[in-house]
Amino acid sequence: MKDIYILGIETSCDETAASVVRNGREIVSNVVASQIESHKRFGGVVPEVASRHHVEQITLVIEQALREAGITPGGLNAVAVTQGPGLVGALLVGVNAAKAFAFAHGLPVIGVHHIAGHVYANRLAGGMEFPLVALIISGGHTELVYMERDGSFELIGETRDDAAGEAYDKVARILGLPYPGGPHIDRLAHEAEESVKFPRAWLEDGSYDFSFSGLKSAVINYVHNANQKGETVDPAKVAAGFQESVVEVVTGKTVRAAKAFGVQQVIAAGGVAANRGLRDSLAEALGKEEIEFHVPPLNLCTDNAAMIAAAGSSMFEAGVRGDLRMNGKPGLEL
């Protein structure tokens, strides 16, 4: 069988990325231009700043991905691009670049759902065994997805307010830690000897949805009250308590979903999947149930274009072809 080469493009948030993937499984090149430095001083991603960076970077990043892969456009089978969800101005840059590239070189363009991309990152790092449950947990998403087979997605739970990473970043800001705050809270939580007890957002019985805004408010109130009373706040104690609440609820719901859907494998992806506390807790709880647990390496957990090419490759093999009328969709459904 002839090899299939897909060019992936990702610009849904604050990374401008392009990658070439062979047969949906092997990374041939993987280029990511991060904007973290530009967003740092604002403590979060500023949409307008993100779009401007994407415009500046996108052509260079695509050229670099092709150069590093040693492939010409003629050697590609299709262009896969993140169609949504994401920041509208950011998505449009990638989608228009993909359409222009596809038009210029006579290639089909395939629109990929960003979450599908995160899930297929796992195919680049050890494989996917169906049926499976995927936990997508990042600065923009917190979702539980059930996949009965290749290409089938069922959203079984999602956040009703903040994404987990967003809550990490906001709590970090309250504690005076740099952006992105997740890794700092993770480190402090491991150093802490004690923790502040914060509430758990289990929501209604049986729900696989998440909520992090109540927890975030509880942390804000705790810090404000302490400040008002003139007491010093121990950031490690707060970080540990916050992380315990997140980890307990996310692990509990993920394990319950895995058992209810009778899966053999759970995969995690997204920046927060890098969290040591969460990884350890999921590995232990799923291990007890004899369910396999996989997390791709960090560079494939966070936003990248190889995962978009991998998901696009599975769609290409299933016969999916988009056309040049395709547009970016900030609220695209899975």
Q: Which residues bind Zn ion (CB under 5 A)?
A: 138, 303
Closer residue to Zn ion in complex, CB, 80/240: 80
Stretch 9-38 residues interacting with ligand KG4 (CB under 6 A): 13
- The answer to whether the annotation marks 190 as part of a ligand binding site is no
- The answer to whether the annotation marks 118 as part of a ligand binding site is yes
Binding residue for ligand KG4, selected from 8, 84, 85, 182, defined by CB under 6 A: 182
In the list ligand KG4, Zn ion, none, the entry touching 272 (Cβ below 5 to 8 angstroms by class) is ligand KG4
The least distance separating ligand KG4 from the CB of residue 302, rounded to whole angstroms, comes to: 3
List the x/- string, 122-141, binding to ligand KG4 by CB under 6 A. Answer: ----------------xxx-
Residue pointed to by tokens 């992090």: 212
**Cα–Cα distance measured from residue 230 to residue 176, given in angstroms and rounded to the nearest whole number:** 17
- 302 near ligand KG4, rule: CB under 6 A: yes
Interstrand relation of 154-158 and 265-269 (parallel, antiparallel or unpaired): unpaired
Helix (H/G/I), strand (E/B), else coil: 298: helix
**Cα–Cα distance measured from residue 137 to residue 311, given in angstroms and rounded to the nearest whole number:** 18
Stretch 258-297 residues interacting with ligand KG4 (CB under 6 A): 270-272, 274-275
Residue count of the chain, please give it: 334
The least distance separating ligand KG4 from the CB of residue 132, rounded to whole angstroms, comes to: 19
The least distance separating ligand KG4 from the CB of residue 67, rounded to whole angstroms, comes to: 25
**Cα–Cα distance measured from residue 12 to residue 167, given in angstroms and rounded to the nearest whole number:** 20
User: What number of chain residues touch ligand KG4 (CB under 6 A)?
Assistant: 19
- The answer to whether the annotation marks 138 as part of a ligand binding site is yes
Interstrand relation of 78-84 and 5-10 (parallel, antiparallel or unpaired): parallel
Single-letter residue type at 293: F
Closer residue to Zn ion in complex, CB, 165/277: 165
- Stretches 46-54, 92-100, 177-185, 222-230: which one binds ligand KG4 (CB under 6 A)? 177-185
In the list ligand KG4, Zn ion, none, the entry touching 182 (Cβ below 5 to 8 angstroms by class) is ligand KG4
* Dihedral sign, Cα of residue 277, residue 283, residue 287, residue 290: positive
Contacts of 43-50 with CB under 8 Å at 24 or more apart are 43/169, 43/173, 43/179, 44/166, 44/169, 44/179, 45/13, 45/14, 45/87, 45/139, 47/87, 47/88, 47/89, 47/90, 48/89, 50/13, 50/14, 50/87, 50/89, 50/90
- The answer to whether the annotation marks 77 as part of a ligand binding site is no
Which structure tokens are listed for 276? 């040591």
Interface residues toward ligand KG4, by CB under 6 A: 13, 138-140, 165, 168-169, 180-183, 186, 270-272, 274-275, 302-303
Known binding-site residues for Fe cation equal 114, 118, 303
